[in-house]
Structure 1
Amino acid sequence: MTLTFATALWGGFAIVVALVGIYLFRTRSQPRTVGSLLLWAEQRRPSEGGRWLQQPQMPLLLALEILIVVLVALAAASPRGVAPGQALPLLVILDDSFSMRAGEPDSPRAQAIRAVEAELAAHPGYQVRLIVAGGRAEFLGETCRAVAQLRALWPLWKCGSPAGDLDLGVALARETREHSARLLVITDRAPADPPADGRLQWWAFGRPLDNLAIVNGGRTMFGAKDRFFVEIANLSSQPVRVAGRAETPVGRDFSLDIGAFDTRREVFDLESATAPVRVRLPADALPIDNEMILVAPQQRQVKTAVRLGGGPLHQLTERALEATGLVMAATGPAELLVRTTSEAPPAPGQWVWEFAAASDAEPFLGPFAIDRTSPLAEGLSLGGVVWGAPASGTLRGVPVLLLANTPLVTEERLAQGARRFQARYDPRQSNFHNTPNWPILFWNLVRWRQSLLPGPAQPNLRLGMEARLQAVPGVPDLRVRTPEGETVPVRSNGEVAVFLPTGPGLHTVENGPATSTFAVNCLARGESDLTRGASGRWGDWTRSEAFRQESLDLGWAFLLPGALLLGLHLFLISVAGAGGPRV
């Protein structure tokens, strides 16, 4: 039973106090013997009030009057109840951020699980649907009507996201269920604005805690060595000295003095440019942000071959490719092949740059048009450039560089990751190769090709980022082995697969004969800051119009006995007034 207007009980309490006071402070007349009534102007009735506390004269009537007032006050409080077994939809929005694991084993997540199970056990009519709110919001499992069904879904609530977008979860809940559904937000922080619409309750199970966290890090090539850095934040109100350890091929201990809510950076040089690096901090309330793994940046060489039959164009192309520092001579199938125009299609996954015949070329100063959305065009500037090419004709693919309406460079995307680029260029009537644009063009080509070699596009990711995995040509199926040992199959679109890690650590990618690794790190200062933790409950489902529609009005259960007691009270008064016994 729920009292929707509980303030009415205060009015009933005030009436009872006043009623008891009247009975307790009433005075009674006492007989006195006087000589004569001659001097009395008139006879007055005894006063019914006074200042002296005396025993009540009518205890039975007093008890009846108190009961009547209590029953009327309860009826005025608008008691309402839900019929046993009545179906009530309940959508629970779960904060999936990693701060929900702070203070394990008695973490906010563990407390929330116990509270939701107790709520379902107390209201058997609930039809519970879980929504996980991390970087995105999604439903978790099917509708639950028993605690046992909920317990089967709790392991899927991992609390591994760098942020919990609760607003997105609430929006999903409001859009997918009827207006009468109850919404329950589970988190570890207080709401910015307490809910007031009557449909939403906000339960927080956090508490303020101090925490040391790794909030940033990176690894790059620095000459012949690698260099990496780590940033550590002191998320507490007191300065601390941090003693950490960097596990390179040779372990290194370090110590940092960090002020309250301050951040310090430490930089390290590495002798080995291949082994992963681990940085660890001492254990605290939130272990997930105490470790960082950095995989060596991959500078993979592109296997290239130039088949232009000698001549000036052959030499210019070879020098431009070698200047990138990102290529190596192909001893087998080339990943990037430069040749003259041929009808032979590229091999699966192979990129081919073809120079078309330009026997009738003429020198042109423009006007040139460049597709700036193409990676090939980055940094190109054709002002003052002379380009020798035929004045008309067509090339295969989408134009990247045009002379008026005549294509000069085109791109054609083929099946299984293969691409064909065609260009018309006569170096004898051009100065393009004598400008910085020539090496820039081939740098863009090689760097683009390198970025799409099989394996992860980035070796080190933040938790919450998607891993883009380039597939081996002709092998669209990949497998990702997580730090927990679980193998997750991933299907590519023929070229690229997208995988969303659910936790930090070292991940291994298997794609046919190729194997590669990438690291995921928990670097989110906002979630690592546990000083904003709070506990409490906000919101009231009984204030919504939906609650009035789904519940029963129980006021009659108090008004009916109150009316019967009022009739008995009037009967007793009438009996006493007719000369009967006092009650």
Structure 2
Amino acid sequence: MSFAFPLAFIGLLAAPALTAIYWLRSRSRKRTVSSLMLWMDQRQLKEGGLLIDRLQTPLLLLLELLSILLLVLAAAGPMVRAGTAAAPLVVVLDDSFSMLAGGKSSPRHRGEESVRSEIRAGGYSAIRLVLAGTAPQILGEAAEGGSRMNALFDHWKCYSPSANLEEAITFAFALGGDRCRVLVVTDHAPAAEQIDERLEWRAFGRRDDNVGFVTATRTDRDGQDRCLLEIANLSDRQSQTDLVVEAANTGGFREIKRSRLNLSPNGTERIVLTLAHGAGEIRARLGDDALKIDNEVMLAPEREQGVRVELAMNNEALRDLVQKAFEAIPSAEMVSSAPDLVVTDEAASDVRPGSWILRFITDQPAESFIGPFVIDRNNQIAEGLSLDGVIWGAGKSPESTGALLIMAGNIPLLTATDRADGAREIRFSFRPEMSTLQRTPAWPVLMWNILNWRASEMPGVSPCNLKLGSDAKIKLAFGTTAVSVREPSGSSRELISADRIITFNADEPGVYEVTAGTARYSFAANAVRKEESDLRQTTSGNWGSLFALNGLEQEQRSITWIFILLLLIVLACHLALVSRDLSAGRSAALT
């Protein structure tokens, strides 16, 4: 046993003082009287005095001395060894993709063997595994050997674009409690402030040169499908590698480009490819090296979302203004049936379910407004829109329905209402003969934003090409609530959404296939992160120890509560004896 506050033993000096109080007693002179009948208390006083007498009431004295002893022991903070056999273990596993460097001798494989050996050694009350990716994730509780531990390690895939070890270690200590031990398995050395007395850091990295993709994007704009590939030489010497670009066709891929790249030390090379119209998935590959995951990227078609627009307008002047504005937008397709957006100036019109309506209000008493204009900047319809110096002719009624997007004072100019079929109706109060809006840059900006708003709400996946670990947003058609996502590994996930939007985290590199009712979509995720592809900072070594603790409070457990409990029992006995003596004194006085 040890004590956290040994200076508390100074309190034992109270014991001799208490003994002296019981030793020194008052002695009365002897007097002879004729009778004792007038005396209130005939007993000898025992409250103390200046003369030495034999000890009286020894049981009370012993109880009070024992109370002092227990109080001092409790104040000293008694500690006993907790015993390492009962400590829980939390293993933090680096889940970044640099852990895959080296193939079968990668830090991931060697780290797994090290953790298995630690678990087989035993001596822990519980063992938990935590993945350190962009955010910590609990894998579960491991057991020595068996299928359960194998299943947990199967989830350690090392596909994360980064490893937030500091957050994962903090999470591990909170998960394990005050006496837990934390074992970190990674491929790089720790920062000095990350070494804790209860933490052991094991690194299994190996410094190496690497060439890999650090950027891979694909765009489809103005009718041209382009790919941008950026390859980095993450070494201090000249490197060469082969680049092969392939396009998907029936039954596989066909080669469309092959080149030999000569990369300067720490240099990069950018390659832009213009693809044929309607090209499918693109695969680009580099030669093998230490890290394979960044040697291949897949790019799904990034189609520009077109919007089918139908004009159903009676006002010829207004129709001409709207038609010219939409025809100048490449993503707008003017149609006469099955539109995505119907533009009308009629008070009521029948449209197919799911079609948006842009309704111009021109039949109300109107006046010209020069501002101030109030614009809802949280809505994408206001992006890049300025109404300074604009004269807007519109109805002067303050009544409105739906969300207010643009107002002139308290007069609604542009509002939006959600319909029961999941579509929207945009009400545009506008009188062109009383306005200059159509002759300012604000007019095409407004039409462009309305069209883009409609395009952003159309079913599909965005973005179609993203970095590993990022989220893809799947927008469902009205009436569709469930989707099936087939991952690159071949497994499938069934997802359900009530608001027609599903956010899916792409935690595995490759192409994902989405089935939403009768619709089919695809998107791709790639391991492109320069910091993870750079293997020059990786290293091997051990820092800290699971059992080499310096802090006393970390190694021992407080038993102060035991002494406090005993003290309360002793004080209760003391109180019982004192109460008994007082009762006996009162009885004697009455008799």
By the TM > 0.5 criterion, same fold?
A: yes
State the shift of 1:190 in Å.
0.6
> C-alpha distance in 1, partners of 2:244/2:307?
36
Alignment of 1:27-42 (within 5 A): none
Q: Secondary structure of 2:325's match? A: helix
Q: Does 1:531 align with 2:536?
A: yes
Q: Secondary structure of 1:253's match? A: strand
State the shift of 1:388 in Å.
1.0
Q: Does 1:146 align with 2:144?
A: yes
Q: 2:407 aligns with which of 399, 402, 405?
A: 402
Alignment of 1:235-250 (within 5 A): 235-248=234-247, 250=255
The alignment's TM-score, normalised by the length of structure 1, stands at 0.76
Structure 2 runs not aligned, ≥5 long: 1-79, 248-253, 559-591
> C-alpha distance in 2, partners of 1:304/1:140?
50
What is the letter of the counterpart of residue 107 of structure 2? P
Q: Secondary structure of 1:395's match? A: coil
Alignment of 1:111-260 (within 5 A): 111-141=110-140, 143-148=141-146, 149-193=148-192, 195-221=194-220, 224-248=223-247, 250-260=255-265
Give the total of aligned pairs.
471
Q: Secondary structure of 2:197's match? A: coil
What is the letter of the counterpart of residue 366 of structure 2? A
Alignment of 1:4-83 (within 5 A): 82=83
CA 1:130–1:347: 2 relative to 1, 3 Å: farther
Q: In the alignment, is the contact (CA less than 8 A) between 1:137 and 1:168 conserved in 2? A: yes
State the shift of 1:517 in Å.
1.1
State the shift of 1:295 in Å.
2.3
Q: Secondary structure of 1:324's match? A: coil
The superposition leaves residues 448-485 of structure 1 with CA deviations (integer Å, 9 ceiling, x where unpaired) of 21122211111211112100111111102111111111
Q: In the alignment, is the contact (CA less than 8 A) between 1:490 and 1:499 conserved in 2? A: no
Q: In the alignment, is the contact (CA less than 8 A) between 1:234 and 1:263 conserved in 2? A: yes
The superposition leaves residues 405-452 of structure 1 with CA deviations (integer Å, 9 ceiling, x where unpaired) of 111111223456422211211112112112221111111111121122
Q: In the alignment, is the contact (CA less than 8 A) between 2:202 and 2:543 conserved in 1? A: yes
Which residue is equivalent to 1:392?
Answer: 397
The superposition leaves residues 64-109 of structure 1 with CA deviations (integer Å, 9 ceiling, x where unpaired) of xxxxxxxxxxxxxxx98947xx432111111110111111212111
> C-alpha distance in 1, partners of 2:178/2:123?
21
> C-alpha distance in 2, partners of 1:254/1:388?
61
State the shift of 1:152 in Å.
2.1
Q: In the alignment, is the contact (CA less than 8 A) between 2:512 and 2:522 conserved in 1? A: yes
CA 1:262–1:518: 2 relative to 1, 3 Å: same
Q: In the alignment, is the contact (CA less than 8 A) between 2:314 and 2:346 conserved in 1? A: no
CA 1:81–1:326: 2 relative to 1, 3 Å: closer
What is the letter of the counterpart of residue 341 of structure 2? L
> C-alpha distance in 1, partners of 2:397/2:539?
72
> C-alpha distance in 1, partners of 2:120/2:214?
41
What is the letter of the counterpart of residue 270 of structure 2? R
Q: Does 1:373 align with 2:378?
A: yes
Which residue is equivalent to 2:556?
Answer: 549
Q: Secondary structure of 2:109's match? A: helix
Which residue is equivalent to 1:75?
Answer: none
State the shift of 1:493 in Å.
3.8
Q: 2:325 aligns with which of 315, 320, 336?
A: 320
> C-alpha distance in 1, partners of 2:355/2:272?
40
> C-alpha distance in 2, partners of 1:546/1:346?
74
Q: In the alignment, is the contact (CA less than 8 A) between 1:133 and 1:164 conserved in 2? A: yes
> C-alpha distance in 1, partners of 2:350/2:186?
57
CA 1:416–1:204: 2 relative to 1, 3 Å: farther
The superposition leaves residues 107-132 of structure 1 with CA deviations (integer Å, 9 ceiling, x where unpaired) of 11111111111111112434111111
Please give the root-mean-square deviation of Cα atoms over the aligned residues, in Å: 2.4
The superposition leaves residues 230-251 of structure 1 with CA deviations (integer Å, 9 ceiling, x where unpaired) of 1111112221122211114552
CA 1:345–1:222: 2 relative to 1, 3 Å: closer
Comparing 437-446 and 266-275, the one that deviates more:
266-275
Alignment of 1:86-125 (within 5 A): 86-125=85-124
Q: Secondary structure of 1:480's match? A: strand
Identity, % of aligned positions: 36
Alignment of 1:286-301 (within 5 A): 286-301=291-306
Q: In the alignment, is the contact (CA less than 8 A) between 1:395 and 1:422 conserved in 2? A: no
State the shift of 1:304 in Å.
1.9
Which residue is equivalent to 2:510?
Answer: 505
> C-alpha distance in 2, partners of 1:206/1:385?
64
Q: In the alignment, is the contact (CA less than 8 A) between 1:416 and 1:494 conserved in 2? A: no
Q: In the alignment, is the contact (CA less than 8 A) between 1:195 and 1:202 conserved in 2? A: no
Q: Secondary structure of 2:103's match? A: coil
> C-alpha distance in 2, partners of 1:341/1:480?
42
The alignment's TM-score, normalised by the length of structure 2, stands at 0.75
> C-alpha distance in 2, partners of 1:524/1:311?
55
The superposition leaves residues 322-369 of structure 1 with CA deviations (integer Å, 9 ceiling, x where unpaired) of 221212244544221222465679765432222224431011212211
Q: In the alignment, is the contact (CA less than 8 A) between 2:368 and 2:434 conserved in 1? A: yes
State the shift of 1:308 in Å.
2.2
Which residue is equivalent to 2:280?
Answer: 275
What is the letter of the counterpart of residue 548 of structure 1? E
State the shift of 1:498 in Å.
0.4
What is the letter of the counterpart of residue 190 of structure 1? A
